[in-house]
A and B are shown apart, each in its own frame.
Chain A
Amino acid sequence: MGEILRVDNMNVYYGAIHAVKGISFNVNEGEIVTLIGANGAGKSTTLQTVSGLLKSTTGDIRFMGESLMHVPAHKIVEKGLAQVPEGRRIFLQMTVQENLEMGAFVRGNEGIEESLENVFEQFPRLKERRTQIGGTLSGGEQQMLAMGRALMSNPKLLMLDEPSMGLAPILVEQIFDIIKELHKRGTTILLVEQNAQMALSVADRAYVLETGRITLSGTGAELAASDEVRKAYLGG
């Protein structure tokens, strides 16, 4: 198993606010790795920095051995790194199909139909709603669309930012089933979650983020059993 993503000493500031304080972590090929932590711990900031929307002032971010520190955000997707952003952020005024096409923006026309079929197979609901405007979908459907859209770029690493946010428990289960299914098919996943219980149940490895620092790391099972994590995040 090769290393697919390596983050070394990442520091991110929003003006004077030091949001991420020198964190380091890595993701190996074929793994599900999760970053868990409370609101404001710096999880989304970390993902946005890996995607190039924010910049780390120090250290290095390496994807497949190549540094992303000076690569503009729109070039990072081309390298095989896709993100499903927090709050889904689908294009509300575009149709489901157009949203998916945007996901494949960096690819040529070749194989797009096939990828569309794959996404529709994974998310049959999206196929039914193909010509509908994104804004008319329900929250769960929008999450599926956001995931399908990210998959359209054929990513080597899929980063999911709070996919369970704002969804009913039954939909959360469904989204995590899909994550497991994607993993089974060979997609490497970096998952950011507040729902620590769900995240740890699917993760191979996990990192706990607290106010911009990694305070704990280990396998999913280890952390799920750890007293500290149970007290802080699992309600007991």
Chain B
Amino acid sequence: MEFLSYLISGISLGSVYAIIALGYTMVYGIAKMLNFAHGDVIMVGGYLSYYAMFSFGLPWFVALPASMIVCACIGMLIERLAYKPLRQAPSLAVLITAIGVSYFLQNSALLIFGANPKTYSNPFQSVNPDGSINAGISLFGGQLTITYVSIVTIISCIIIMLALNFFTSKTKMGKAMRACSEDKGAAQLMGINVNRTISITFAIGSALAAVAGVLLCSSYTLIQPTTGSMPGIRAFTAAVFGGIGSIPGAFLGGLLIGIIESLAKAYISTQLSNSIVFAVLIIVLLVRPAGLLGKYVPEKV
């Protein structure tokens, strides 16, 4: 029963990583860049939803889409101002710019919201008539509790996965995105506006980061300017683990990293959990350098 509970919390954590990893992997697939500022967009989404819910008193189902929309705009703005001018620049310049944007977001948050962590009350729970908090479903006579946050997180992840799968395989825009990720020149010859496609990719990735921000803050019930850093790095690991550029890879990588982290914390050592996650990553990359689902398509000449 204990194991089941750790597994579920691992899946829930992994679902958040998967949602974040999608942002990394989609941007990498199309713009061929590592957007290290992605983790900080999670934090921005967290703060936006924090103020929407606790200052304006909006319910979570209004606050969430609102912060998704604002984050999507911020993502497009970052791309337009920081990355687009570097389209032809060497990738190292783009990478350093991304790190710069990351610091910029963190320090802006520090300036605007202050360094003190704020309490983010979990919107996915209810208060019982007797005043106690009902945070989840109790199973097996109270031996196993699944929190509503976990349930919402896992369901969100599944919905996002299905929606993205539909988007990239059935819609014209989604297919154009895949075309751009393969060959931008050829995509332009088809009449696809590559700049706009990149912009839309950033918008989708950043909107997903906002979802991750709400879910993450709801389960940790805290928010501070560095909230996005560590989950961002773990999710990046997850994206590489699954095969960067691959959407199913991001899901698989996210879930596995979440589960490994949770089980390692439970059964081996809390302090060592990061080392264990990265050790597994190194081993996987030694065996499969392109990641678990990373594609290698032989090209015929």
Residue B183 interfacial (CB < 8 Å): yes
Residue A53 interfacial (CB < 8 Å): yes
| CB atoms of B178 and A91 under 8 A apart | yes
| CB atoms of B191 and A74 under 8 A apart | yes
| CB atoms of A51 and B189 under 8 A apart | yes
B-contacting 9-mer, from A100-108, A119-127, A174-182? A100-108
Residues of A within 8 Å of B176, CB to CB, are 102, 105
Residue B288 interfacial (CB < 8 Å): no
Residues of A within 8 Å of B188, CB to CB, are 51-53, 73-74
Residues of B within 8 Å of A105, CB to CB, are 172, 176, 190-192
Residue A172 interfacial (CB < 8 Å): no
Residues of A within 8 Å of B87, CB to CB, are none
The B-contacting residues of A in range 73-92, CB under 8 angstroms, are 73-78, 82-83, 85, 87, 89-92
Residue B193 interfacial (CB < 8 Å): yes
Partner of A101, one of B175, B193, B194: B175
Residue B118 interfacial (CB < 8 Å): no
Partner of A91, one of B172, B183, B295, B298: B183
Given contacts A73-B188, A74-B191, A85-B189, contact A102 B301 (CB under 8 A): no
Question: Which residue of chain B lies nearest to A78 when distances are taken between CB atoms in the complex?
Answer: B191
Residue A186 interfacial (CB < 8 Å): no
| CB atoms of B298 and A135 under 8 A apart | yes
Question: Which residue of chain B lies nearest to A109 when distances are taken between CB atoms in the complex?
Answer: B172
| CB atoms of A77 and B189 under 8 A apart | yes
Residues of A within 8 Å of B295, CB to CB, are 93
Given contacts A92-B297, A135-B297, contact A85 B186 (CB under 8 A): yes
B contact residues, total (Cβ < 8 Å): 23
Residue A153 interfacial (CB < 8 Å): yes
A83 to B188, CA, bound (A): 10
Residues of B within 8 Å of A53, CB to CB, are 185, 188-189
A contact residues, total (Cβ < 8 Å): 36
Residues of B within 8 Å of A139, CB to CB, are 300-301
A109 to B177, CA, bound (A): 18
Residue A205 interfacial (CB < 8 Å): no
A43 to B186, CA, bound (A): 17
Question: Which residue of chain B lies nearest to A133 when distances are taken between CB atoms in the complex?
Answer: B297
Partner of B194, one of A74, A77, A91, A142: A74
| CB atoms of A102 and B192 under 8 A apart | yes
Residue A210 interfacial (CB < 8 Å): no
Residues of B within 8 Å of A98, CB to CB, are 175, 178
The A-contacting residues of B in range 172-215, CB under 8 angstroms, are 172, 175-176, 178-179, 182-183, 185-194
Residues of A within 8 Å of B301, CB to CB, are 87, 139, 166
| CB atoms of A94 and B190 under 8 A apart | no
Residue B2 interfacial (CB < 8 Å): no
Residue B299 interfacial (CB < 8 Å): yes
Partner of B179, one of A52, A91, A138: A91
Given contacts A98-B175, A105-B176, A137-B300, contact A91 B189 (CB under 8 A): no
| CB atoms of B190 and A92 under 8 A apart | no
Given contacts A135-B298, A139-B300, A139-B301, contact A89 B186 (CB under 8 A): yes
Chain B: minimal CB distance from A18 (Å): 20
Residue A55 interfacial (CB < 8 Å): no
Chain B: minimal CB distance from A141 (Å): 9
Chain A: minimal CB distance from B29 (Å): 11
- Of B183, B188, B190, B194, most A-chain CB atoms within 10 Å: B190
- Of A51, A74, A85, A150, most B-chain CB atoms within 10 Å: A74
Chain B: minimal CB distance from A89 (Å): 4
Chain B: minimal CB distance from A94 (Å): 6
Residues of B within 8 Å of A83, CB to CB, are 189
The A-contacting residues of B in range 141-194, CB under 8 angstroms, are 172, 175-176, 178-179, 182-183, 185-194
- Of A76, A90, A93, A105, most B-chain CB atoms within 10 Å: A105
Chain B: minimal CB distance from A90 (Å): 8
- Of B172, B185, B189, most A-chain CB atoms within 10 Å: B189
A138 to B175, CA, bound (A): 23
Residues of A within 8 Å of B179, CB to CB, are 91, 94, 102
Can you report 22 A-B residue pairs in the complex whose CB atoms are below 8 A from each other? A51-B188, A72-B193, A74-B193, A74-B194, A76-B191, A82-B189, A85-B185, A85-B189, A90-B186, A91-B179, A91-B182, A93-B182, A102-B179, A105-B191, A106-B191, A133-B297, A135-B297, A135-B299, A138-B300, A139-B300, A142-B300, A149-B190
Q: Name B's A-contacting residues (CB within 8 A).
A: 172, 175-176, 178-179, 182-183, 185-194, 295, 297-301
A-B pairs with lowest CB-CB distance, top 7: A77-B191, A106-B191, A89-B186, A73-B188, A74-B193, A135-B297, A105-B190
